[in-house]
Amino acid sequence: MTEIVDHGVTGKIIREISEPVGLVMINCTFIEQSLSAIFEITADEVYAAGRKVKRPFGLDDKIKVCGKIFRNVDTLAHYKEAVQSNLQQLKKIKVIRDTFAHGTVSKFEAASTVFTFSVVNPEDDHHTLHEVRISAENIRIAAEMSYSLATLFQKLAADLMERGAGPGDRHG
């Protein structure tokens, strides 16, 4: 049974976290769009390398596919290290994004400014919950990191397009 709790989040706290939470959400959208573009731009190289990759749907799939592309396609090898490192950072940001998007605040500790969320496991038919704890400081850090990642992946997509490996080549 769902229980509504007095989690202790005040209007002041909501105002303080609204901007960084909003930035995480928006930047994750830009990142997802960039990963989609990277997939499309590199598709010819992926297929030429003998890889068959299904078009990814959703941020989780796009992270996985992007990682595979840069690990396994020789013509993209010089991007591999930077991409892999940044995808690992993106996975951490995604936890915060998903927690705010899909979790429920169950408690707020004012002294430590830590939010405790209840999050339903989407893979479990029994709707089990787990807790995720996120500090206000980590929300601000995530906002900054998500901006950096959005900028990086947008630039990577543009760089890949400029080098001539894009959809225009396929459809000539």
What would the pLDDT profile of 95-123 be if each residue is shown by its tens digit? 999 999 988 888 888 889 999 898 887 77
Q: What is the pLDDT of residues 44-74, one digit of tens each?
A: 888 888 888 788 899 999 999 999 999 989 9
Q: How many CA atoms lie within 13 A of 14 on its CB side?
A: 6
| Prediction pTM value | 0.84
Token pair listed for 127: 């709707």
- 3-state SS class at 51: coil
Question: pLDDT class for 166, splitting at 50, 70, 90?
Answer: very low
CB neighbour class for 147 (10 Å; exposed up to 12, middle 13-18, buried from 19):
middle
Q: Is pLDDT at 13 greater than 90 in this prediction?
A: no
Which residue bears the tokens 């229980």?
3
Mean pLDDT of 127-144: 91
pLDDT for the residue 15: 87
Mean pLDDT of 30-35: 97
pLDDT at 77: 87
Crossing angle of the two packed helices 11-48 and 59-72, in degrees rounded to 10: 40
Contact in structure between 63 and 32 (CB atoms under 8 Å): no
Quote the mean pLDDT of the chain. Answer: 87
pLDDT in tens, 123-133: 777 778 888 99
